[in-house]
A = this chain, B = another copy of it.
Amino acid sequence: MNTILVLNPNTSEAMTEDIAKSAEQAASPQTETIVTNPDIGPESLESYYEYHLAAIAMLETIADYRGEVDGVVIACYGDPGLYPLKEVFDVPVVGVAEASLATATLLGHRFSILVALPRAIPMMENMVHWYGLSNRLASVESTNLSVLELEEDKDETVDALSRAGERAKDAGAEVLILGCSGMAGLQKRVAERTAVPVIDPVENAVKMVGLLAEQGLVQSEAGLYQTPPKKDIRGDMPGDLSR
């Protein structure tokens, strides 16, 4: 039995509940999940500035679970804090975005990411470039709905996602990824409407961390994710793990 910590990096409890629903779908006899969010930090994450605050906040939170969990999921599309968390934890840490891309590579040659507002487009394109997967990205498509609007009227949201999905297919997408936690629970309806596989990144990432943990696989200590050397941190900083 593995315990997976599913961490919503922002401080919105409403979103943590959405994430919990997706995480539940990934439940299995081998996997138990804890879903939570930090006590401090931004209510939502739409910029690198907020990503950095959230990363610090998550470091605080996860420190409490050290030794008690077998894997960690960062449950915000965009994978804020992914690299620092991979460095400092000795259980597998997986971002919902990187896991969704890994899964998408098995389902089609090119995939698209559906996001809430247009401002996310360059950040998502950049993230896929960082992961070295740009030549398998068909497009990033916006629903033009804010996170709040996504949650208001689910039928309308399915409509907006399906329209974005059709644009994605025109751009060559064979697989769609729901790039915002506010889209949780709509995977099957959008898949039916667009007739292509649709990935729920939270459900998928929980299963992916399980897959790693069951094989005894943890991010490498060689190269990019090696554990930082112990050193003095001046001042009283949240996220200071040397305390």
Contacts and interface: CB of A to CB of B under 8 A. Distances in A.
26 contacts: A11-B234, A42-B232, A44-B231, A46-B229, A47-B87, A47-B227, A49-B59, A50-B228, A52-B52, A56-B237, A57-B235, A92-B107, A102-B102, A102-B105, A106-B212, A107-B219, A108-B219, A108-B220, A109-B224, A122-B224, A129-B132, A129-B135, A132-B135, A134-B135, A207-B211, A237-B238
A233 B53 contact: yes
Given A103-B102, A174-B220, A228-B46, A53 B109 contact: no
Contacts of A130: 126, 129-130
A119 interface: yes
A16 to B, nearest CB: 13
Query: Chain A contact residues (Cβ within 8 angstroms of B): what range?
Result: 35 or more
Contacts of A188: 216
Contact of A43 (B92, B175, B225, B234): B234
B102 A51 contact: no
A185 interface: no
A214 B225 CA distance: 30
Nearest to A237: B40
Contacts of A221: 195-196
B207 A215 contact: yes
B218 A197 contact: yes
A175 B220 contact: yes
A222 B119 CA distance: 9
A215 B219 contact: no
A107 B46 contact: no
Given A103-B212, A106-B92, A122 B223 contact: yes
A123 interface: yes
Interface in A100-152: 101-103, 105-110, 119, 122-123, 125-126, 129-136
A183 interface: no
A156 interface: no
Nearest to A102: B102
Contact of A197 (B56, B98, B103, B219): B219
Given A40-B236, A129-B130, A223-B174, A107 B218 contact: yes
A49 B87 contact: yes
A99 interface: yes
A226 B196 CA distance: 11
